[in-house]
Structure 1
Amino acid sequence: MAVDPVWINGLAYDGAELRRVQALSVMTNGVSLGGRAGVIPGSGSLAVSLAGSTINVAAGNAWVYATGQGLYGVSLNAGGSATLTAAHATLARVDLVYLRVWDNAVDASGLNKADVVYLAGTPSASPVAPVPAGTQIYLSLATIAVPPSGGGAPSVSQAVRPVTVAAGGILPDAAAVGYYVGQYRDNGTGLQRWDGAAWRAVGLHTTTVVSDQIGGPTSYVTGTPTDFTAGQWAPITTTVPPSGQIAISIGNALNNTNTSTSTAWCGWRAAGALTETMTEKNSVSIAGTRNYSTRRVIRSGLTPGASITITPQYNVSSSGTVGSVTRILDGQLSVEPLASV
């Protein structure tokens, strides 16, 4: 089947042909000859705001996709304004603001232009945003939650607006769907790559994070694992690397000569991507005289990109004079990301 490649002298192109070719420059939407619709990040983004009852739409650029028609590129110097419909006496409402492309050859509207449209929703006990009627070519920009009269101020949400980037670009969208192996997205806290089955974190926290002990309590709680305060020994919060594997080390100078059988323990507990209490498996200890030691353990099978907090703790069986009789000082806690084997 012959097609017309662009930019060749002597060939004539219609709008649909050129719109389909424009999909070459935009991230895919998973449809053959399609492209992902959305506003262009950093372009002004056609942001919607409220000033009293006036709806304002900023300038911006966007791609609007229509099935079978390709991508319409829209650049608005100003999105314009509209007046918010008055609130219902007793019911809430959700309104929609959207970018519309009018293409007479497709929608028989008699117009060929693009503009911003405000569509008031239907008051209801469970209101939802309205859907533009007919076969309109459009891109949602924002919803406006309008409470009943006297129920507070209306509020704008931009959550319905998609964003798009050039083909192969990184989408700043935590909910972006993976369409091909090697696609990237920014989920708001880091970079992720689609491997064909799941999003995997990329290049997160490739250096070891260390927390040095600053001091200890003026008197120890006895008989139970107890957190050091952040001012005494700060916890570490970090992100699980792509391997899902980390090494946690804790070391300390310990002694407890309060009685002939007194003990002192220093360890850690974990929360977030790993839940673990302080036990013999993740602690160093002493019974009586001084000991300097470090314990390193490896934890694997964690969720890449997930947050994990490691909090240093102590546990003494009994306590005497702090610093000379009972001492848990000069410690260091570290969390080291490990590569996949």
Structure 2
Amino acid sequence: MNLRSSWVAETGQTREDTRLTQTGVTTMSNPVQVRSGILPGSYDGAFRLAGFWTFGSGAMSATVSEGRAVIQGEISQGAYPVTMPTAVVLNFTPGNAQYSRIDVIVLKIYDNLYDSSTKTEAKLEIIQGTPEQTPKVPLIPARCLPLYEVLVPAGASAGNGGIPWNTSLKDLRSTVVSLGGILPAEGQTGPGAYPGQYQDAANTLQRWDGAAWVPYPAALGGIIPNTASATPASYPGQYRDTANGQLQRWNGSAWIPAVAVGAFVDNGDYGDTTSTTYTSTLAGRVTNPLTVSFVAPPSRAVAVSFGAKMRSTSSDHYAYMALKLTQGATVVNDLEDDYAVLAASQNMISVANTRRYSGLTAGTTYTLTAFFRVITNTLTLKAGFDNTFIKVDPLP
């Protein structure tokens, strides 16, 4: 049976057994293997990752700081813990006379059980690239953990200034933590190993949901911050803060205001019409029509107030103002004289009305539009309107 154990058999425990049975040492990538990476931390706690930090310390040399890491082999080989207790200086070969190249600093495991070497050790090495007009990253062998790419310019040497360290180093380090720990994500962390795994990426706590890293509030009931308001909803009843500061709730198909808000529109310009059928355009007004949109609240009902200062050029002929309710191109509630405000006066008089609209679809946007007319006449009389308004209040 290919079942490995450690510290059970009296004799015969192999190095492979020990590596394969280590638990709690680093971040899982699947049921058997772990991620390769560096253990996080710094001396003063100011940095997420200080292990194996590298800097130029000479024209053609770099210093690699101390650190601890784990390097995963093939699935049957287990994980190799590595510790470098003191800093190490690496020396780079001078650059090619014509072309630049890319070298890679790696932690490499030599294990003669799996490679053609005669060594069984961990080493800090430089994998040298090929000088080319467009240099490429060299192939990284198995059981290697890349730390840094180093661009070695053409002609670089100790005698002509060496490697420009401020621009030549590219950090490749990635992190690992103990089993179940929150990973301070640096570099490529890849997918999670199980739903419920966490990582701290770009100062945002994320949770692996089985398919993607999801910002923590989206996954577990917190309010999604406005910086992540484009994140898809996870469940009905979830909340988010929008970019304009509005708290919204996901109802299963749409984001709707968590706290119902009203709407208001008015127009202070005088306008009139001779139309005996309802029209949304008044002569003399710069802006037509008078419309307002609102989102239906959870109660699916709103109270709508509307009105104007109105007059007709004859006290025997009525001026009407009515509302049409639409949802997109669909008319939900059409114009009706019974619900209009009206006036028959040659002088301007203020008229208003309030009515209830119910049976709306919560979270859906509706639009109210004002229409105007004068009662049928043969005298080409006018109906005049000023200070028109529409006000929408959500009902509990």
Please report the TM-score for the alignment, with normalisation by the length of structure 2: 0.51
- Contact 1:256/1:287 (8 A) holds in 2: no
Shift of 1:245: 6.1
Distance in structure 1 (CA, Å) of the matches to 2:91 and 2:113: 30
Write the mapping of 1:81-160 to structure 2, written as runs, cut at 5 A: 81-107=89-115, 109-132=117-140, 137-149=143-155, 154-159=167-172
Question: Alignment partner of 1:16: what SS?
Answer: helix
For residues 278-313 of structure 1, give each alpha carbon's deviation from its aligned partner in whole angstroms, at most 9, with x where no partner exists: x9568xxx9999xxxxxxx959xxxxxxxxxxxxxx
- Contact 2:249/2:256 (8 A) holds in 1: no
Q: Which residue of 2 aligns with 1:17?
A: 17
- When structure 1 is superposed on structure 2, of 108-117 and 3-12 the one drifting more is 3-12
Pair 50,7 (structure 1): closer, same or farther in 2 beyond 3 Å: same
Q: Which residue of 1 aligns with 2:217?
A: 203
Q: Which residue of 1 aligns with 2:375?
A: none
Matched, 1:55 2:55: no
Shift of 1:253: 9.4
- Contact 2:29/2:192 (8 A) holds in 1: no
Question: Alignment partner of 2:22: what SS?
Answer: helix
- Contact 2:4/2:20 (8 A) holds in 1: no
Corresponding letter in the other structure for 2:183: L
Shift of 1:246: 4.5
Shift of 1:77: 1.1
Distance in structure 2 (CA, Å) of the matches to 1:23 and 1:15: 15
Question: Alignment partner of 2:19: what SS?
Answer: helix
- Contact 1:23/1:33 (8 A) holds in 2: no
Pair 143,110 (structure 1): closer, same or farther in 2 beyond 3 Å: same
Shift of 1:27: 2.4
Distance in structure 2 (CA, Å) of the matches to 1:130 and 1:65: 20
Q: Which residue of 2 aligns with 1:170?
A: 182
Which protein has the larger Cα radius of gyration, Structure 1 or Structure 2?
2
Matched, 1:181 2:195: yes
RMSD in angstroms over aligned alpha carbons?
4.7
Distance in structure 2 (CA, Å) of the matches to 1:237 and 1:147: 53
Distance in structure 2 (CA, Å) of the matches to 1:186 and 1:239: 25
Matched, 1:46 2:38: no
Distance in structure 2 (CA, Å) of the matches to 1:158 and 1:237: 40
Question: Alignment partner of 1:203: what SS?
Answer: helix
- Contact 2:263/2:294 (8 A) holds in 1: no
Pair 239,197 (structure 1): closer, same or farther in 2 beyond 3 Å: farther
Shift of 1:131: 2.3
- Contact 1:181/1:196 (8 A) holds in 2: yes
- Contact 1:27/1:168 (8 A) holds in 2: yes
Q: Which residue of 1 aligns with 2:81?
A: 73
Shift of 1:139: 1.1
Distance in structure 2 (CA, Å) of the matches to 1:125 and 1:178: 38
Shift of 1:209: 7.9
Shift of 1:62: 0.4
Distance in structure 2 (CA, Å) of the matches to 1:66 and 1:129: 21
Q: Which residue of 2 aligns with 1:36?
A: 35
Please report the TM-score for the alignment, with normalisation by the length of structure 1: 0.58
Shift of 1:84: 2.8
Pair 189,132 (structure 1): closer, same or farther in 2 beyond 3 Å: closer
- Contact 2:56/2:63 (8 A) holds in 1: yes
Q: Which residue of 2 aligns with 1:275?
A: none
Write the mapping of 1:240-255 to structure 2, written as runs, cut at 5 A: 246-247=255-256
Pair 2,158 (structure 1): closer, same or farther in 2 beyond 3 Å: closer
Shift of 1:21: 0.7
- Contact 2:71/2:80 (8 A) holds in 1: yes
Distance in structure 1 (CA, Å) of the matches to 2:99 and 2:248: 44
How many percent of aligned residue pairs carry the same amino acid? 25
Shift of 1:141: 0.9
